[in-house]
Structure 1
């Protein structure tokens, strides 16, 4: 079935993405917090100072795909990592590293007068900020793993493009290795994944990043270079599409959070499927039409490869919990159905009617209010039309035939 994306639908989805964005001040608040923690680790009497600690943000805050919480009671989850550059896996166990960094984080909490206790998670330490801050920080202890990662991938003749930024992380559910000095540590590569994600955004990201830099320079005496512009300051159709899909998923799985498709799977499949579309609506529908293409079924299990580590399967939990695979494909079909219908509509009232129960009525009301305000000021953002006017972009096809996952071609 062929889907036409109307100008009105494009405009609505653009307004929806803007409504989902968190204020730049939230990103800056998170950045200030993890930089403060990094400074603490480098203070004179720090137990980790001589290991050259490097604190950096990862996850959706690094990718620029954070969405507003559904309510004031929900918190932003700021994922960070602390890489102790001068340590090696031969020098300590995962448990030793976890406790070493945890001790410093607990001292930091006391020094800042944070009332809530530091909580230990499976792979991280959670730092709970004051209620008014509306966010917590998860800090993952890690040490460099680039050399071993490169060797591991080379031995299997796999892509090593992002190996140098790989890290080894702690996981207290992996025993007995957790308490032993061993070379067998869990692996991660948030910096490599971020670089891959920027690569998938392609020329659209480069152009819009340059635009942000020029706007900053025109507004004052800014000497920043293009590399100084963080990803969260740029907004591409890929980022916006992922944000919309994450909210659609959150609403669909409000009563079933256990089987909810995880964000890294949505982000990875969306980035694989993105082909440089210039508008949010077209990117969204195109991504949905190709989202299964990077899923491999080898006859026994589904595989969604980590693009920076082909030995890691983001869908590894699906084998033990096949209901999660079913939940993902059910969600994907529902998202296709919902946004395919939205793409045909020309009245924002009808678009809101379709999406109210899919992304939340409060959000669709906010989008409608924004559109109405723009219409009264600017002469009509989504004026009602009696016939569908279409944007001059290729059409997207959703086949009625069952789709069989196939092996992805590299990172494309």
Structure 2
């Protein structure tokens, strides 16, 4: 049993804060998808009648986004544009993607963005001005909850999160140009709801303690002001992974695998040190193996296997095992450290010396484990409710135009 020292707890809190993005960057990200949602609902919009809903997915929605290692690096804002009043057998994937291309391109021109609209396999990409340091991937989608529920239940699988499932476009899909009910599936809201359920008790306890410490009602404490050790631990593990595989990006363990296994392993630990040790100790227990293939099931869609590429690329499974062994060694040693310098030296080789030393300098004795993160963007990003599915009507974002 590993005993986590007070010095290690303070250091890990500081490290998570150092990884948090700035309030300015966060607000830019929020404004970007809000502004696009407003554009799609304008009177002249060609998709307004289909009730377009723009919302985030991925690390911004989960509250696990981290700063790029390079101070000039870009943030990836993953979003979905779901046309809620259409169904997938009314049109083709290609038609949907083109419908949104027209509107997103018009938005780009109206916002005076210099960089051309990019196309990915499943999305359109808006490249903001260099000073903004981010781009936004927009995945066209349609509602797919009922179909997904029927599919999962017919296989005897858990359909608890199926109601928010979506059908998405993929220009490599064999039926991309055909009108059919067979579309690629996704469920970012369902996954986020599952993730939130894994930290619900810890979240409620922290919110209650924060209310008591400020002599306020629980309801008056905004949810985005509370952060859980699960989110902090994932942020730290992602940076450790990024540094370790900086020169081997082709085998780098993907974030959704780290996040899923960490959330499974988390058992409501109250501090980041306890959470990190618990997660690293148990996360590989949630990897299945049937003698041929490894399985890391998507909790929101049990038919999806996040480790499906490991059979074709066994070096990726080997890389995950290599990373997990290194993370255990680094953080288990750090957790038992009695000085900030020793802890710094334990983690610096695989999180970066600069970051490790900034965390060391930031760390200071605290009267209790932090309930309220400093005013950083990751604090705000930590709460799923800060990215609602409902369309908002904000003002135009400032500072995103091309130079």
Specify the TM-score bucket, using the shorter chain as the normaliser: 0.7 to 0.9
Which residue in the other structure is 1:325 paired with? 317
2:271 aligned residue (279, 298, 306): 279
The superposition leaves residues 18-37 of structure 1 with CA deviations (integer Å, 9 ceiling, x where unpaired) of 11111233322211110100
CA shift, 1:208, in A, is 3.2
Distance 1:58 1:208 in 2: 24
Which residue in the other structure is 1:198 paired with? 196
1:245 aligned residue (229, 237, 243): 237
Which residue in the other structure is 2:78 paired with? 79
1:265 aligned residue (230, 233, 257): 257
CA shift, 1:207, in A, is 3.2
Which residue in the other structure is 1:45 paired with? 44
What are the equivalent positions in structure 2 for 1:322-401 lying under 5 Å apart? 322-371=314-363, 374=364
Structure 2 residue 92 is matched with structure 1 residue 100: no
Q: Name the larger-Rg structure.
A: 1
Contact 2:167 2:186 in 1 (8 A): yes
Distance 2:223 2:227 in 1: 12
CA shift, 1:109, in A, is 0.4
What's the secondary structure of 1:168's corresponding residue? strand
Which residue in the other structure is 1:186 paired with? 184
1:229 aligned residue (223, 226, 231): 223
2:304 aligned residue (298, 312, 326): 312
Distance 2:209 2:133 in 1: 31
What are the equivalent positions in structure 2 for 1:50-199 lying under 5 Å apart? 50-175=49-174, 177-199=175-197
Contact 1:153 1:159 in 2 (8 A): yes
> 1:215/1:105 Cα in 2 relative to 1: closer, same or farther (>3 Å)?
farther
Contact 1:144 1:168 in 2 (8 A): yes
Distance 1:205 1:36 in 2: 30
Structure 2 residue 288 is matched with structure 1 residue 296: yes
Distance 1:11 1:165 in 2: 38
Contact 1:19 1:366 in 2 (8 A): yes
How many residue pairs are counted as aligned between the two chains? 368
The superposition leaves residues 193-250 of structure 1 with CA deviations (integer Å, 9 ceiling, x where unpaired) of 11111100021112334667899997xxx99877x734xx431000000000000000
Contact 1:304 1:313 in 2 (8 A): yes
Distance 2:312 2:330 in 1: 30
CA shift, 1:153, in A, is 0.8
What's the secondary structure of 1:312's corresponding residue? strand
What's the secondary structure of 2:176's corresponding residue? helix
Contact 2:93 2:178 in 1 (8 A): yes
What's the secondary structure of 1:127's corresponding residue? strand
What's the secondary structure of 1:56's corresponding residue? strand
Higher relative contact order (Cα pairs below 8 Å, separated by 6+ residues): 2
Q: RMSD in angstroms over aligned alpha carbons?
A: 2.2
Distance 1:337 1:353 in 2: 13
Structure 2 residue 30 is matched with structure 1 residue 31: yes
Structure 2 residue 21 is matched with structure 1 residue 15: no
Distance 1:124 1:317 in 2: 21
What's the secondary structure of 2:79's corresponding residue? strand
TM-score, structure 2 normalization: 0.87
What's the secondary structure of 1:178's corresponding residue? coil
CA shift, 1:363, in A, is 0.3
> 1:341/1:162 Cα in 2 relative to 1: closer, same or farther (>3 Å)?
same
Distance 1:316 1:167 in 2: 21
The superposition leaves residues 146-171 of structure 1 with CA deviations (integer Å, 9 ceiling, x where unpaired) of 01001001111111111110000111
CA shift, 1:68, in A, is 0.8
CA shift, 1:140, in A, is 0.5
> 1:151/1:76 Cα in 2 relative to 1: closer, same or farther (>3 Å)?
same
Contact 1:89 1:143 in 2 (8 A): yes
